Structure 1
Amino acid sequence: MKSTIEELGPTRVRMAIEVPWGDLDHAFGEVYKELKKQVRVPGFRPGKVPERVLDQRVGRPVVLEQVVQHAIPEVYSEVVRENQVRVLGQPDIEVTRLDDNDTLAFTAEVDVAPKIELPSLEDLAVTVDDVEVSDEEIDEQVSVMRERFAMLTGVDRPAQDGDHVSLDLEARVDGEVLEDGTTSGMSYEVGSDSLMPGLDDAVRGLSADESATFETDLHQGQYAGRQAEVTVTVRSVKAKDLPELDDEFASTASEFDTLAELRDDVRTRLGRAKTMQQGAQARDKLVEHLLEATEVPVPDGLVAREVEWRNRSLEQELQRAGMDWEAFLQAGGIESREAYDADLAKQVEEAIRTQFILDAVADAREITVDNDDLSAQIMAQAQRSRMSPEQYAQQLQQGGNIAEFVADVRRTKALAQLLEQTTITDESGNTVDLDALRPQTVRAGEESAEDDDAASDDAATSEDTATGAVDEDDAPDAEVADAVAVEAAEGATEDTEDVAKA
């Protein structure tokens, strides 16, 4: 077999491949095997029809066409593997020569990962925000705790913001009652604006057993995009009675005896959460530096395919939620579908460029993925997804995502190594302790700001939440995760590096 590879551009190649007829014996054998099962010829037992008779019966051109269809994928994969070509997506195949009993020749054009010239990875440095915990932030967190210990007391007056009311709701469109728009005895906090537009204005000023009607836009279900007439009836009004902020509250709401000790603990936990946010910021700034300092061409087709895939997935989610694109864009404050697609394409391109850079770093440093790496990541992702390690690994296998998972773990290791060697200082010039940042460096630049905010919000009430810890009884068994990791690795590929390249 002969093959040549021509670079059509930084991210596109054409492979010209010639296959001697003798190398097609396996393909001919498979094709004839299938034809013998399908074709019935008088005078011959099923499965015993001679090949020359099959050629006459179905036609030699038909046989050759099936041989070509069977042989090309195998030959193409062999050429890719032997030449270590990092292909992206499916190739465009063209048969250029098919001489019976002589030669099969074809070309394959395909997108490939670019060859990247990395910038200097020495003396990397980033600056992050200072860690400052204000009294106002402590007050806010203590207020959250105070709300959790509030008592609700029935009152004989009109509802106002902060009250908890029991509501009956009935929604109509064109006079028809909506089955999924009717409920009774629902608890709702007035002023929270958490259910539907117009509800708070309608409820304010209503006493028990009083009703009001208002109109609201529907964003989900059969009538998404239309207006509904909603009748709300208040069944009861309860005021929130907050406990006094004193030492007694502190001892009730926490393990501390005084309010001062509780506030000190809140300050410590908020500081820890903000230090973790420094880690996320350091990670993001390091990735940003790499993107700015590295020229990374990206195949247009790769971006387009990823955008199309994401849009199809979103459409399925919208259908399940009873929404359409118009309602989705309106709810997100997005001016048009074109604006949404342009922003998505930009995000996808940046993510792809980041992956290419981290793959190049992993190659340069010969980073590999072992069972311990896979086990740790499976356990972390399973915990985040609220499932067992076995379930998460099975989900990866069933979805055909193991190769992608292994490649992502490899990129994560590459980024973690870079971050460990990066000098991180805050705006005041203080060196940031990297050990405190490790919980935030789980993925290669893909954690959202919402995750960082959640860590801050929960810091005052749970140290485990702030640090990402779990109870010992709830943690996945390490031996189980190791076994799953081995299975995942074996199912992915014999060569981890080849998987990462894929």
Structure 2
Amino acid sequence: MKSAVETLNPTRVRLTVEVPFEELKDSLDAAYKKINQQVTVKGFRKGKVPARVIDQRFGRGAVLEEAVNDALPKFYTDAVNEAELSPLGQPEVDITELKDGETLNFTAEVDIRPSIEIPDYSGIEVEVDAVEVTDEDVEKSVEQLRERFASTSPVERAAEDGDVVTIDLEAKVDGEVLEDGIANGVSYTIGSGELLDGIDDAVKGLEAGGEATFTSELKGGSAAGKEAEVTVRVTQVAKRELPELDDEFAQLASEFDTLEELRADSRKRLENMKQYDQATQAQERVLEKLLELVEVPVPEKLLEDEINTRKHNLEHHQLGQMGLTLDKYLEIQGKTAEEFETETREAAIKGIKTQFVLDELVKQEKHNVNQEELTEHLMRRAASSGMSPDQFAQAVVEQGQVPLLVGEVARGKALAAVVEKATVKDTNGEIVDLEDEDEAEDETAEAPAEAEAEAEAPAEEKTED
């Protein structure tokens, strides 16, 4: 077999392949055998029809077509390997010449990974938010914990802000009660904003047994996005009572004996969260700077597929679960269809470029992934998917996606190595050392690299979880 490569553009090539006819022998034998099992010829046992009879009865052309279809994938793969190409997607194959007993010639056009040169990136500098936890932040955190331990007690008075009311709801659209528009015994905290727009004004001032009607746009269900006439009936009004902020509360709500110890722990937790956010921010901004340094041509077909995949996932998975249409989503986001198209395209381009650049770094820097790193990454992915580690691991193996997870971890390591060489300063002008952290914060520094590399990877290459 002979093959030659013609570069059509930086991301697409045409392979021209010439195959001597004798190299089709195995595929021809397989074709005769397959046809033998499918046909019946009088005077011959099934599977024992001679090749010449098959040629006479069914035509040599049918045999050649079967043989070529069987052989093409192997010859194409051999040509790709010989040229040391990294194809993306399926090739467009055209048989240019097929002479029985002489030769098979074909061409195959396919997108390939572009050749990328990574320049010196050690001079990258980025600025991130400083890790600052104020007394107000601590008190807000403690207050949120206090809210979780609030108790309620029924009262015989009109409902007020902050009260917990038990309500029955009935929604009508165009005068008809919706099948899924009735809900009884719903517990709602006035002012929480967790139910329908307008419900707070409707229930405030009502006592148990009182009812009111208001109009609101439904957020979910069969009539999501439609205006509905909603009748709300209050069956109970209860006052929320917060526990006193003292040592007794600290003992109730935590493992600490004093309120000051609880506050100190809250401060430490907030610092850890802000350090995580800071590390994530550093990853994102270093990646942006890195992409600015590298010229990365993007295959048009791959980009088109990526855009379509992102749209499909948004419309049929994310929005579908929320009961929203794309038009309604854009209305809520305050975006036009044109703005959405532009943003999706830009995100797809960034995702493709990120994967190409980080994969090139993985190859150049020889970043390997060990079993422990893969297991840790799998555990994180399982947690984010809502599946147990065992379930997620089984799905990954069954779908043959272990190499994709390995790639995610490797790209995360590559990005972390770039960040390590970058100069990261906070808004106070202080150098941020992402390595200078305790054990808990080390995990914080590592996780964003993998998360960023995974988030930016093309959607079609991600594990479906």
1:167 and 1:41 mapped to 2: Cα distance?
79
Q: Is the 8 A contact 1:276 1:437 kept in 2?
A: no
Which residue does the alignment assign to 1:24?
A: 24
The 1-side partners of 2:137 and 2:306 are apart by 41
Aligned length: 448
CA distance in 2, matches of 1:371, 1:149: 42
One-letter amino acid of the counterpart of residue 135, structure 1:
D
Shift of 1:341: 2.3
Contact 1:18-1:106 at 8 Å conserved across structures: yes
- Seen in structure 2, the aligned counterparts of structure 1 residues 446 and 29 have a Cα distance that, compared at 3 Å, is same
Pick which of 253-262 and 89-98 moved more. Answer: 253-262
- Give the match's secondary structure for 1:96: strand
Task: Give the Cα–Cα distance (whole angstroms) in 2 for the partners of residues 341 and 411 of structure 1.
Answer: 27
Tell me the residue number matched to 2:44: 44
Name the amino acid aligned to 2:331: Q
Say if 2:195 is the partner of 1:195: yes
Matched, 1:330 2:339: no
- Rounded Cα–Cα distance in structure 2 between residues aligned with 1:445 and 1:347: 18
Residues 124, 289 of structure 2: 8 Å contact kept: no
Contact preservation (8 Å) 2:91, 2:108: yes
State yes or no: 1:262 paired with 2:251: no
Q: Which residue is equivalent to 1:313? A: 313
1:91, 1:182 → 2: CA distance?
A: 55
Contact 1:116 1:295 in 2 (8 A): yes
Secondary structure (helix, strand or coil) at the match of 2:237 reads: strand
Q: Pick closer, same or farther for the CA change 1:9–1:120 going to 2, 3 Å.
A: same
Distance 1:186 1:222, change over 3 A: closer
Structure 2 counterpart SS, 1:428:
coil
Report the AA paired with residue 134 of structure 1. T
Q: Which whole-Å deviations, capped at 9, do the CAs of 1:192-223 have from their partners, x for residues lacking one?
A: 12122222222222111111111222344433
Look up the match of 1:134: 134
1:11-54, Cα deviation, whole Å (9 max, x unpaired):
11111111111111222222222211111111111111112222
- 2:407 equivalent to 1:402: no
Return the offset for 1:307. 1.3
Query: Does the CA-based 8 Å contact 2:279-2:445 persist in structure 1?
Result: yes
Instruction: Write the letter of the residue equivalent to 1:328.
Output: Y
> Structure 1 residue 321: deviation in Å?
5.2
Q: d(CA) in 2 for partners of 1:349 and 1:3? A: 32
- For 1:236-255, what per-residue CA distance to the aligned partner results, in whole angstroms no more than 9, with x for missing partners? 11111112223332333223
Q: Which moved more, 1:291-300 or 1:260-269?
A: 260-269
Distance in 1 between residues matched to 2:197 and 2:26, nearest whole Å? 67
Q: Which residue of 2 aligns with 1:94?
A: 94
Partner Cα distance (2:225, 2:417) in 1? 50
TM-score, length of structure 1 as denominator length: 0.83
Deviations 1:91-127 (A, max 9, x none): 1111111111111111111111111111103355433
For 2:342 and 2:161, the matched residues in 1 are separated by 41
Q: Which structure 2 residues correspond to residues 166-181 of structure 1 after superposition, within 5 A? A: 166-181=166-181
Aligned to 1:439: 444
Equivalent-residue separation in structure 2 for 1:389 and 1:259 (angstroms): 37
Matches within 5 A, 1:76-225: 76-225=76-225
Paired residues of 2:202 and 2:213 also in contact (CA < 8 A): yes
Aligned counterpart, 2:229: 229
Counterpart of 2:340 in structure 1 is: 340
1:272-287 equivalence runs, <5 A: 272-287=272-287
Alignment correspondent of 2:363: 363
* Amino acid aligned to 1:58: F
CA-based RMSD: 2.3
The answer on whether the counterparts of 1:329 and 1:336 sit within 8 Å (CA) in structure 2 is yes
Contact residue 358 and residue 411 of structure 1 kept, 8 A: yes
Amino acid in structure 1 at the alignment position of 2:326: W
Could you report, residue by residue, the CA deviation over 1:424-482 in whole angstroms, capped at 9, with x for unpaired residues?
A: 3333324424143543433546459x9xxxxxxxxxxxxxxxxxxxxxxxxxxxxxxxx
Distance 1:25 1:372 in 2: 47
- Give the corresponding residue for 1:428: 429
| Amino acid paired to 1:439 | T
Contact map agreement 2:412 2:451 (CA 8 A) in 1: no
2:460 corresponding residue in structure 1: none
Q: 1:46 to 1:376 in 2, by over 3 A?
A: same
Superimposed CA distance per residue, residues 308-348 of structure 1 (whole angstroms, 9 cap, x where no aligned partner): 122223333245654432233234x2433332222111111
- Check 1:142–1:220 CA distance in 2 against 1; reply closer, same or farther (3 A cut): closer
Distance across 2 between alignment mates of 1:284 and 1:437: 18
With normalisation by structure 2, the TM-score equals 0.90
CA gap 1:258/1:405 in 2 versus in 1, 3 angstroms: closer
- Structure 1 CA distance, aligned partners of 2:409 and 2:419? 15
In structure 1, C-alpha distance between the alignment counterparts of 2:244 and 2:322, rounded to whole Å: 43
The one-letter code of the counterpart of 2:276 is M
Query: What fraction of aligned residue pairs are identical, expressed as a percent?
Result: 44
After the TM superposition, which of the residue ranges 253-262 and 346-355 deviates more from structure 2?
Answer: 253-262
Looking at structure 2, the residues matched to 397 and 433 of structure 1 have their Cα atoms a distance apart, in angstroms, of 34
Partner of 1:442: helix, strand, or coil?
helix
Letter in structure 1 aligned against 2:444: P
Distance in 2, matches of 1:321 and 1:137, equals 32
1:60-116 deviation line (CA, Å, top 9, x unaligned): 222222222221122112222333211111111111111111111111111111111
Instruction: Answer whether contact 2:412 2:452 (CA < 8 A) is retained.
Output: no
Moved over 6 A (4+): none
CA distance in 2, matches of 1:64, 1:34: 12
From the superposition, tell whether residues 214 and 364 of structure 1 become closer, same or farther in structure 2 (CA, over 3 Å). same
| Structure 2, unpaired ranges of 5+ | 456-465
CA distance 1:334–1:397, change in 2 (3 Å):
farther
